[in-house]
A and B are shown apart, each in its own frame.
Chain A
Amino acid sequence: MRQLVILGAGTAGTMMANHLHKSIDLHEWQITIVDQYPKHYYQPGFLFIPFGLYSEKDVVKSKREFIPHGVEYLESAIDRIDPRTNSVMLASGTTLNYDILIIATGAKTAPEQTEGLTGSDWRKRIFDFYTFEGATALHAALENWNGGRLVVHITELPIKCPVAPLEFSFLADWWLAERGLRDKTELVYVTPLSSAFTKPICADVMGHTLTDKRINTVTDFNIARVDNDQHQIISWDGREVPYDLLVTIPTNMGDAMIERSGIGDELNFVPTDKHTLQSKVKDNIFVIGDATDVPASKAGSVAHFESEVLTKNILHYMHGEPLTEDFDGHANCYIESGFNKAFLIDFNYELEPMPGTFPLPGIGPFSLLKESYVNHLGKLAFRWIYWNGLLKARPIPGISHTMSRTGKRIPPTVPTDVASEA
Chain B
Amino acid sequence: MAVLQINGSSIDVNDEGYMTNHAQWNPDVAAELAKGLGVTLTPAHWRVLNFIDKDFGEKGVVPGIRRMNKVGGIPTKELYDLFPEGPIKKAAKISGYPKPASCV
Is A220 in contact with chain B by the CB < 8 A criterion? yes
Is B76 in contact with chain A by the CB < 8 A criterion? yes
Q: Chain B CB within 10 Å — which of A156, A192, A220, A266 has the most?
A: A266
Output the least CB separation between A288 and chain B (Å). Answer: 21
Is B37 in contact with chain A by the CB < 8 A criterion? no
Residues of B within 8 Å of A232, CB to CB, are none
Is A24 in contact with chain B by the CB < 8 A criterion? no
Instruction: Identify which of B3-11, B20-28, B38-46, B77-85 touches chain A.
Output: B77-85
Is A420 in contact with chain B by the CB < 8 A criterion? yes
Consensus secondary structure, chain A interface: loop
Is A377 in contact with chain B by the CB < 8 A criterion? no
Q: Is the CB of B66 within 8 A of A193?
A: no
Q: Is the CB of A420 within 8 A of B101?
A: yes
Residues of B within 8 Å of A222, CB to CB, are 65, 76, 104
Across the interface, B76 reaches (CB within 8 A) one of A157, A236, A420, namely: A236
Q: Chain A CB within 10 Å — which of B64, B66, B71, B104 has the most?
A: B104
Q: A192-B103, A266-B71 are in contact. Are A237 and B80 (CB under 8 A)?
A: yes
Distance A265 CA – B102 CA, assembled complex (angstroms): 17
Output the least CB separation between A415 and chain B (Å). Answer: 11
Across the interface, B66 reaches (CB within 8 A) one of A156, A198, A221, A420, namely: A156
Distance A418 CA – B102 CA, assembled complex (angstroms): 12
Q: Mark B15-37, 1 if CB is under 8 A from A, else 0.
A: 00000000000000000000000
Output the least CB separation between A269 and chain B (Å). Answer: 11
Residues of B within 8 Å of A237, CB to CB, are 80, 84-85
Residues of A within 8 Å of B66, CB to CB, are 156, 266-267
Q: Is the CB of A156 within 8 A of B65?
A: yes
Chain B residue nearest to A199 in the complex (CB): B101
Residues of A within 8 Å of B67, CB to CB, are 265-266
Residues of A within 8 Å of B71, CB to CB, are 266
Is A204 in contact with chain B by the CB < 8 A criterion? no
Instruction: Give the A interface residue count (CB, 8 A).
Output: 18
Q: A224-B76, A237-B84 are in contact. Are A421 and B104 (CB under 8 A)?
A: no
Is A106 in contact with chain B by the CB < 8 A criterion? no
Is A165 in contact with chain B by the CB < 8 A criterion? no
Q: A156-B66, A220-B86, A266-B67 are in contact. Are A421 and B80 (CB under 8 A)?
A: no
Q: Is the CB of A421 within 8 A of B102?
A: yes
Across the interface, B102 reaches (CB within 8 A) one of A158, A221, A236, A266, namely: A158
Residues of A within 8 Å of B76, CB to CB, are 222, 224, 236
Chain A residue nearest to B77 in the complex (CB): A236
Output the least CB separation between A401 and chain B (Å). Answer: 24
Q: Mark B71-104, 1 if CB is under 8 A from A, else 0.
A: 1000011011000111000000000000001111
Q: Chain A CB within 10 Å — which of B64, B76, B79, B102 has the most?
A: B102
Q: Mark A218-259, 1 if CB is under 8 A from B, else 0.
A: 001110100000000000110000000000000000000000
Residues of A within 8 Å of B77, CB to CB, are 236
Q: Mark A157-172, 1 if CB is under 8 A from B, else 0.
A: 1100000000000000
Output the least CB separation between A312 and chain B (Å). Answer: 26
Chain A residue nearest to B72 in the complex (CB): A266
Chain A residue nearest to B103 in the complex (CB): A192
Distance A93 CA – B64 CA, assembled complex (angstroms): 37
Q: A156-B65, A237-B80, A265-B67 are in contact. Are A198 and B104 (CB under 8 A)?
A: no
Q: Is the CB of A192 within 8 A of B80?
A: no
Residues of B within 8 Å of A220, CB to CB, are 85-86, 104
Residues of A within 8 Å of B85, CB to CB, are 220, 237
Distance A220 CA – B102 CA, assembled complex (angstroms): 9
Residues of A within 8 Å of B64, CB to CB, are 156-157
Interchain residue pairs with CB less than 8 A apart (19): A156-B64, A156-B65, A156-B66, A157-B64, A157-B102, A192-B104, A193-B102, A198-B101, A220-B86, A222-B65, A222-B104, A224-B76, A236-B104, A237-B80, A265-B67, A266-B66, A266-B67, A421-B101, A421-B102
Q: Kindly list the 5 A-B residue pairs having the minimum CB-CB distance in the complex, ordered from nearest.
A: A420-B101, A266-B70, A222-B104, A157-B102, A266-B67
Please name 20 further chain A to chain B contacts, defined as beta carbons within 8 Å, in addition to the given A236-B79, A266-B71, A420-B101, sorted by A numbering.
Answer: A156-B65, A157-B64, A157-B102, A192-B102, A192-B103, A192-B104, A198-B102, A220-B85, A220-B104, A221-B104, A222-B65, A224-B76, A236-B76, A236-B77, A236-B80, A236-B104, A266-B66, A266-B67, A267-B66, A418-B101
